[in-house]
Amino acid sequence: MSSPPPLHDRRDTVPDEQAGAAVSTGRLPSPEIVMAALERGFERYRTDDSGVIANYIPALAGVDPDLFGIAVVAAGGAVHTVGDAAALFSIQSISKAFVFALVDEALGHETVRQRVGVNNTGLPFNSMLAIELNAGSPSNPMVNAGALVATSLVPGQSVDARWQFIRDGLSRFAGRPLEIDDGVYSSESANNQRNQAMAWMLDSYGRLNGDPAETTDVYTRQCSLLVSATDLAVMGATLADGGVNPLTGEQVVSPRACRDTLAVLAASGLYERSGDWLYEIGMPGKSGVSGGIVTVSPGKGGLGTFSPRLDAAGNSVRGQRVAHYLSGALGLNLFGSAPTTDA
């Protein structure tokens, strides 16, 4: 198999002297430095028109491809935005990260590992083959198979109760009530035969905790919730802040559920390109097919980006590039360390 093109070009590389100290502890740089880096990142990539918009869900095809928003929310609550950071789009696969966090919180570390899994498939997000190759295991909650299982495990006696649990939970992460995009929901519902088939296949392996049609419907609803890049940054900052939403002060999930979720994002958040992402950006992230990406810098904050043009794996091109730029400029790579000065 040939290697995919790199996530970035030479321009992305931030010279060491301009980069923040890339250490995995501490806080974000000062608000002035964060804002200046956001503006530089925005200017660098605002004219980059590589990639294509997703059109397998018809309602997504009509979006303005040039929209571009970036937001950083610090674990301490400071909000920084540039461009179309308030533009609303359906959250799509990024919902998987937060539904997983809620299910992990409800069911516990070991149960979700066994029922959903935490290993990368190396295959596209909607792969049926991955299920068959793994004897019915959905592999991880960031591909559709694992997300369907996670959604089926949500507590609640009825579809409506499970849906309320998800909508309320994701709204608590965002710090505001999230609404469904009815056009996206009905468009995807009319075109999600593959996800329906996947739910039935998982059911045939005894993996689904509920009715396949109902589970697919709740999953489609969760993907249709409208968010902005700023919402994503707040949601990411909540995962970066031990589960406490830095704007509302609410404890949404426990620190352990955050750790579990971030581990899964690091392994699988960008599908079959998760290794490239971790190698270049060095932080957990999650992308969605409408063009959003959330990136989490534990203890420091969340980055939300929105730009609809995607690479072949379904990840926003500008979003990946600007995340790479900001990881360097703000010193966010989790694997960075400074040589010890101890004797």
Helix, coil or strand: residue 73? strand
The answer to whether residue 51 forms part of the interface with ligand GLN (CB under 6 A) is no
The answer to whether residue 120 forms part of the interface with ligand GLN (CB under 6 A) is no
Binding residue (CB under 6 A) for ligand GLN from 81, 120, 121, 126: 126
- Quote the distance between the C-alpha of residue 147 and its chain's center: 12
Residue 10 CB, shortest distance to ligand GLN, in Å, is: 29
Residue 223 CB, shortest distance to ligand GLN, in Å, is: 4
Which residue is listed with tokens 């581990």? Answer: 263
Residue 188 CB, shortest distance to ligand GLN, in Å, is: 6
Which tokens in the block code for residue 292? 């959003």
Pick from 228, 289, 223, 184: nearest CA to 87: 228
Main-chain dihedrals φ then ψ at residue 227, nearest 5 degrees: -135, 170
Rounded CA-CA distance 207/203 in Å is 5
The answer to whether residue 195 forms part of the interface with ligand GLN (CB under 6 A) is yes
Query: Site mask, ligand GLN, residues 145-184, x = CB under 6 A?
Result: ----------------------------------------
The answer to whether residue 216 forms part of the interface with ligand GLN (CB under 6 A) is no
Q: What is the DSSP letter of 136?
A: T
Residue 290 CB, shortest distance to ligand GLN, in Å, is: 7
Residue 123 CB, shortest distance to ligand GLN, in Å, is: 13
> Any residues with CB less than 8 A from the CB of 273 and at least 6 apart, and which?
4, 7, 311, 313, 315
Residue 96 CB, shortest distance to ligand GLN, in Å, is: 8
The answer to whether residue 188 forms part of the interface with ligand GLN (CB under 6 A) is yes
**HSE toward the beta carbon, residue 46, CA cutoff 13 A:** 12
Q: What is the DSSP letter of 59?
A: G
Which residue, 126 or 295, is less far from ligand GLN as judged by CB? Answer: 126
Binding residue (CB under 6 A) for ligand GLN from 125, 163, 165, 306: 125
Binding residues among 278-337 for ligand GLN as defined by CB under 6 A: 288-289, 314
Residue 93 CB, shortest distance to ligand GLN, in Å, is: 3
Q: Please report which helix (H) or strand (E) contains residue 83, including its range.
A: strand 79-83
Paired strand residues for 72 = 80, 303
Paired strand residues for 74 = 301
Rounded CA-CA distance 119/130 in Å is 11
Binding residues among 223-282 for ligand GLN as defined by CB under 6 A: 223
Cβ atoms of residues 174 and 234 within 8 Å = yes
Which residue, 126 or 238, is less far from ligand GLN as judged by CB? Answer: 126
List residues near ligand GLN by CB under 6 A: 92-93, 125-126, 144, 188, 195, 223, 288-289, 314
